[in-house]
Amino acid sequence: MQLLINNLRQFIHSSKLMFLFIILGFTVAFTAFLVIAIQVKYDFSYNKNFEKSDEIYRFNRYHHANGNSYWTINQDLAKEMEAKIPEIKSYALLQEGKQVDVSLPAASAKKEYPSLLMEATPGFLEVFTPEILSGNTQKIFDEKGKALISEKTAGRIFGDANPIGQALQIGENTLSVMAVYKDFPKNCSLTNGIYTYMEPNSSNNWNYYCYFLIDPQNAPNVAHKINSADILGEETVQHYNSHPEERVEFQLPALEDLYLHGYNKRIHTTLGLLAVGVILLAIAFINYINFSISMAPGRIKNINIHKIFGIERSRLRLAILSEGVAFTALALVLSLVCLHFFKSTSLASNFVADLSIAGNGQMIAATVAGIVLLSFLTGIYPALYITSFGEAFAMKGSFTLSPKGVVLRNSLIVFQFAASIALICIASMITLQNYYVKNYSWGFQKENIAYLSLLNTQVDDELLGDELKQNGAIIDYTSSWNLPGRIGMSWSRELEGKYIDYFTVWPVTPNFLDFFGVKVVAGNDFPKERDREKIIFNEEFMKVNGFTEDIIGKEFEGFSPGDIVGVVENIHFESLHESIKPMAFVVFPNKEYYNYVYLKLSGDHLPATIAQIEKTWKKFTDKPFDLTFLDASMDALYKNETNTGNLISVVALISVLIAMMGVYGLVLLNTRYKTKEIAIRKINGATEEEILQLLNRNMLWMLAVSFVIAVPAAYAVIQNWLGNFAYKAAVPWWLFIGSGVIVLLISAITVSWQSWRAATANPVDSLKIE
């Protein structure tokens, strides 16, 4: 222990700057890695918190015609599958949660509690096995009027009172609380709120999510059976066999795989984060190895004096190994302090996981143990190298690194440079793609358009819109069922003797297309009259299903008989992760399908305009005023990509800074050990420019090699990531050149000062020091 303390004291005394660089590099890298490790654990444990998570499979329909997946089913098909396939132990249907206002009929003063209401079938309890804290779940999903609520929802509504048997008023319906369950964790596909009975619905309604309970060994057999003639029908199977490009394949992806391998393919982001975390650790430890090797000439004499005085080589090696562990331990303590404060910063919003130390004790302990072990392993080579020289050789005087030491050091620096260049390339491309997505022409106007939610308000969209137009607050208004990117309605229907398996349906008001500037390419726009259903398809619907303009004017059965009035151009109303889908805009005779009203603003005097809209809103309802701009709402569809870009940009900056600390430290040490050589060269007539070339030439070669390594690696990663988008920006050549130039400039700035000092030093003074 005394030997370790003496070594540490000598190390810090002889090179305070190196000590600072090592601790600072370790602290920043460890903090970043801890944050990333917590998020990666969150991602990999997604949907694995259910008791039977490895037996749960979610129904999906994959359309080979357009490569799109549709995750919904109708009630009859789910029942048929369970009845005909004995390997299916149970199933649960869920309808997407809707925002409702809950009140207590027994309360003296009416107060509303915004909550999520989900409808479910009886199999919900067997499939997901929620932990029941109080009450009885018997027949809770078998009949109307009963509710299962989450612990936090119960606490928010009832406080400390017992919620069992209490009544909940939701619109005109009353639910009796039968049981309370422990909230599902954040990293799962289920939402928390109120679960109740699911009303029977027609086979044309494909708006339900289905989860099957199947033994894993039986899953492949079940996946085969749900695509058999017994389920699809002999005629359908024969049609798919002769027209495989039109096949609609029923799939059963495992619930545990959905988050990482499903719609957004989060696995790329998660593995990418893990990779940059490992790269950061590698850069920090490479700095330590490089510093240790580069400082060897200055330490070997002292080490070998210890040998002469009888200290065993093994003890010396252990002391050097312990130095690295001691530096690591100090940096880990500092990184935990940084982690504690990091969760309160704006950067923490880029992570969905809980970043608190208390909530991740086991994960942090395992990570810390792994880092300490890594520090011990990375210290082995420096310990062996520094203690490898003979006593007589070491006492002769000053010397430089051995050829093997130089090669190892340069190889490690090349890795640091290559990693930094690659991370800058990747971060820049993510930023370009995010810019491309945000500025992509969706085919309709979204600037200066805001919307209000009419859900649970009883506000009439036309009365509200008309008054806003009269007082000059808005230019125009329109309404729809749901928002772009979140439409959430689909049909299967028969048209002209052809069964159409699935297409998106968006209920809108008659002026919707004109409001958004969507072009009608055949037929007519919606008429103002709402005497019966009116339907307009997009071009993709016509193309996929093989229809021509001849269907315009024909009758079409939606929820009731209606008319096909036209065809519109293809426009994006969903995420750019997917291609345009077959779609229909529908105007219904009644108003129950219009939950959002869109307002077209002039763009002038926005604060006054918003204030006027709020004033008018308060005339119609006492619900909170929440005006949202459409472009901001649509940008939120790419929050994951934006967060990833922000994170990798920060990590790239950190990696460059840590690498530059290492480069600066190595230049400092290099000039120290070349003091005599530089002095002799200057006495023999070498100019300052020649001395600068001597000191920096090697760095330029290493940067060139790093660039050659980094560019193909970064390009491969970028192409893989862009594969998640149906529409993507081109990868420009200047992105790679620019990343290399950035690292070159930062490196030049980093080393120039120290190199210039060495080149301009008085050679007489340098020789005196030697």
pLDDT digits (tens, 9 = 90+) for 588-626: 887 777 889 999 988 777 888 888 899 999 888 888 888
What pLDDT is stored for residue 194 in this prediction? Answer: 97
CB of 297 closer than 8 Å to CB of 71: no
Question: Of the ranges 8-12, 122-126, 137-141, which one carries the lowest mean pLDDT score?
Answer: 8-12
Burial degree of 488 (CB within 10 A; 0-12, 13-18, 19+) = middle
DSSP characters over 163-206: -TT-EEEETTEEEEEEEEEPPPPSSSSPPPSEEEEPPP--TTB-
CB of 712 closer than 8 Å to CB of 426: no
CB of 169 closer than 8 Å to CB of 103: yes
What pLDDT is stored for residue 9 in this prediction? Answer: 65
Q: Which of 203, 234, 250 is the last residue of a domain?
A: 203
Please give the DSSP secondary-structure letter assigned to residue 251.
E
In this predicted structure, the answer to whether residue 105 has a pLDDT above a threshold of 80 is: yes
Assign 628 to helix, strand or coil: strand
Cα separation of 290 and 413, whole Å? Answer: 8
Q: For the residues 69-73, what does the mean pLDDT come to? A: 85
Write down the pTM of the prediction.
Answer: 0.76
Which structure tokens are listed for 83?
């009845």
**pLDDT tier at 398 (50, 70, 90 boundaries)?**
very low
Cα separation of 759 and 695, whole Å? Answer: 9
755, part of any domain = yes
Q: Nearest to residue 208, comparing CAs of 418, 59, 36, 398?
A: 59
Letter string b/e over residues 661-699, b meaning 16 or more CB atoms within 10 A of that residue's CB: bbbbbbbbbbbbbbbebbbebbeeebeeeebbebbbeeb
Question: Which of 364-373, 619-628, 695-704 has the highest average model confidence (pLDDT)?
Answer: 364-373
In this predicted structure, the answer to whether residue 716 has a pLDDT above a threshold of 70 is: yes
In this predicted structure, the answer to whether residue 204 has a pLDDT above a threshold of 80 is: no
Which structure tokens are listed for 701?
């070669």
Letter string b/e over residues 327-346, b meaning 16 or more CB atoms within 10 A of that residue's CB: bbbebbebbbebbeebbeee
Comparison of pLDDT for 301 and 633, the residue scoring more: 633
In this predicted structure, the answer to whether residue 363 has a pLDDT above a threshold of 80 is: yes
Q: Nearest to residue 225, comparing CAs of 245, 254, 247, 249?
A: 249
Q: What kind and span of H or E run contains 420?
A: helix 403-438
Question: Of the ranges 112-126, 365-379, 432-446, which one carries the lowest mean pLDDT score?
Answer: 432-446
In this predicted structure, the answer to whether residue 152 has a pLDDT above a threshold of 60 is: yes
Residues 556-595 pLDDT 10s: 887 778 899 999 998 877 766 677 888 999 998 877 778 8
68, part of any domain = no
Q: Which of 152, 175, 203 is the last residue of a domain?
A: 203
Comparison of pLDDT for 237 and 245, the residue scoring more: 237
What pLDDT is stored for residue 132 in this prediction? Answer: 96
Provide the domain count of the chain: 4
In this predicted structure, the answer to whether residue 408 has a pLDDT above a threshold of 90 is: no
By residue count, the chain amounts to: 770
Percent of the chain with pLDDT over 90: 33
SS (H, E, C) 16-27: HHHHHHHHHHHH
Cα separation of 86 and 215, whole Å? Answer: 11
Same domain, 714 and 766: yes
87, part of any domain = no
Query: What is the amino acid identity at position 277?
Result: G
**pLDDT tier at 300 (50, 70, 90 boundaries)?**
low
CB of 516 closer than 8 Å to CB of 599: no
Same domain, 672 and 631: no
In this predicted structure, the answer to whether residue 189 has a pLDDT above a threshold of 80 is: yes
Same domain, 626 and 651: no
CB of 670 closer than 8 Å to CB of 294: yes
Q: Which of 611, 637, 663 is the last residue of a domain?
A: 637
What pLDDT is stored for residue 682 in this prediction? Answer: 66
In this predicted structure, the answer to whether residue 769 has a pLDDT above a threshold of 70 is: no
**pLDDT tier at 643 (50, 70, 90 boundaries)?**
confident
**pLDDT tier at 647 (50, 70, 90 boundaries)?**
confident
CB of 450 closer than 8 Å to CB of 601: yes
End-to-end CA distance of the chain: give it in Å, rounded: 33
Query: What is the amino acid identity at position 756?
Result: W
In this predicted structure, the answer to whether residue 765 has a pLDDT above a threshold of 60 is: no
Q: Residue 376 half-sphere exposure, CB side, CA atoms within 13 Å? A: 7
What pLDDT is stored for residue 264 in this prediction? Answer: 63
Same domain, 353 and 470: no
Phi, psi of 453 (to 5 degrees): -85, 130
Separation of CA 523 from chain center: 42
**pLDDT tier at 183 (50, 70, 90 boundaries)?**
very high
Cα separation of 36 and 39, whole Å? Answer: 5
Query: What is the amino acid identity at position 447?
Result: E
Same domain, 533 and 623: yes
74, part of any domain = no
* Dihedral sign for Cα atoms in the order 31, 35, 40, 41: positive
Question: Of the ranges 349-358, 391-400, 674-683, which one carries the lowest mean pLDDT score?
Answer: 391-400
489, part of any domain = yes
Phi, psi of 202 (to 5 degrees): -75, 160
* Dihedral sign for Cα atoms in the order 42, 43, 47, 48: negative
Same domain, 301 and 161: no
Residues 6+ apart with CB under 8 A from 553: 523, 563, 564, 565
Phi, psi of 729 (to 5 degrees): -80, 155
621, part of any domain = yes
Same domain, 602 and 462: yes
What pLDDT is stored for residue 98 in this prediction? Answer: 84
Q: Which residue has the tokens 């890594």?
A: 374
Q: For the residues 420-448, what does the mean pLDDT come to? A: 79
Same domain, 576 and 647: no
Percent of the chain with pLDDT over 70: 83
Please give the DSSP secondary-structure letter assigned to residue 528.
S
Cα separation of 222 and 511, whole Å? Answer: 47
Residues 543-555 pLDDT 10s: 888 898 989 988 8
Cα separation of 300 and 392, whole Å? Answer: 11
From start to end of 496-637, where are the E strands? 498-507, 520-523, 533-538, 555-557, 561-568, 583-587, 596-600, 628-629
CB of 409 closer than 8 Å to CB of 290: yes
Question: Which of 451-460, 507-516, 653-662 has the highest average model confidence (pLDDT)?
Answer: 507-516
What pLDDT is stored for residue 84 in this prediction? Answer: 95
Phi, psi of 761 (to 5 degrees): -70, 150
**Average pLDDT in the chain:** 83
731, part of any domain = yes
Q: Nearest to residue 556, comparing CAs of 620, 498, 515?
A: 498
How many angstroms separate the Cα of 289 from the Cα of each of 284, 377, 383, 450?
A: 9, 11, 10, 56
Q: For the residues 721-736, what does the mean pLDDT come to? A: 83
Comparison of pLDDT for 559 and 183, the residue scoring more: 183
Same domain, 463 and 612: yes
Q: Nearest to residue 496, comparing CAs of 544, 545, 543?
A: 545
**pLDDT tier at 38 (50, 70, 90 boundaries)?**
very high
Same domain, 392 and 510: no
Q: Give residue 43's domain range.
A: 1-51+266-399
- Tell me the H-state helices in 623-687: 630-635, 639-673, 675-683
Q: For the residues 629-644, what does the mean pLDDT come to? A: 74
253, part of any domain = no
In this predicted structure, the answer to whether residue 11 has a pLDDT above a threshold of 70 is: no
Cα separation of 535 and 495, whole Å? Answer: 12
In this predicted structure, the answer to whether residue 308 has a pLDDT above a threshold of 90 is: no
Same domain, 645 and 627: no
Residues 6+ apart with CB under 8 A from 625: 452, 613, 614, 617, 618
Same domain, 597 and 534: yes
What pLDDT is stored for residue 573 in this prediction? Answer: 75
Q: Which residue has the tokens 């000191």?
A: 695
